[in-house]
Amino acid sequence: MDPAITPVVDLITTWTRIGQALVGSIGALAFVMAFLWKMTSVDSRSITQAKQWIQRIVVGTIGVEMAGALVQVLTGSIHH
């Protein structure tokens, strides 16, 4: 890899990992809270809302992982 590009690639990789870690930990907390909300709710409307939030959290987490994989592919495609 070109020495001039290495710092930029390292910076992108570092920030991508930081973003994944933050989204992963916040996502896990949000998932637990939505699951508890679903399990303790007695109103069918609240249960439906909790299920929707769980789906959003799962899709968001998958999106972040896919973005991380895309960054790895793009930074790996830079000519050596």
- Residue 62, in any domain of the structure: yes
pTM, rounded to two decimals = 0.65
How many CB atoms neighbour CB 57 within 10 A?
21
| Residue 20 belongs to domain spanning | 11-76
Query: pLDDT tens for residues 44-57?
Result: 999 999 999 999 98
Using CA atoms, how far apart are residues 62 and 53, in angstroms rounded to an integer? Answer: 14
* Cβ contact 50:38 at 8 Å: yes
Q: What is the pLDDT at residue 51?
A: 92
Count Cβ atoms within 10 A of the Cβ of residue 41 and give its class: 0-12 exposed, 13-18 middle, 19 or more buried: middle
- Residue 4, in any domain of the structure: no
Position with higher pLDDT, 56 vs 27: 56
Q: Which conformational region is residue 29 in: left (phi greater than 0), alpha (psi within -120 to 50 degrees), or beta? A: alpha
**Hey, what amino acid is at 9?**
V
How many domains, in total, are found in the chain? 1
pLDDT band at residue 12, thresholds of 50, 70 and 90? confident
- Residue 55, in any domain of the structure: yes
Q: What is the pLDDT at residue 80?
A: 56
Residues constituting the chain: 80
pLDDT band at residue 1, thresholds of 50, 70 and 90? low
Q: Establish how many alpha carbons lie within 13 A of residue 22's alpha carbon, considering only the half-sphere containing its beta carbon.
A: 6
- Residue 19, in any domain of the structure: yes
- Residue 1, in any domain of the structure: no
- Residue 34, in any domain of the structure: yes
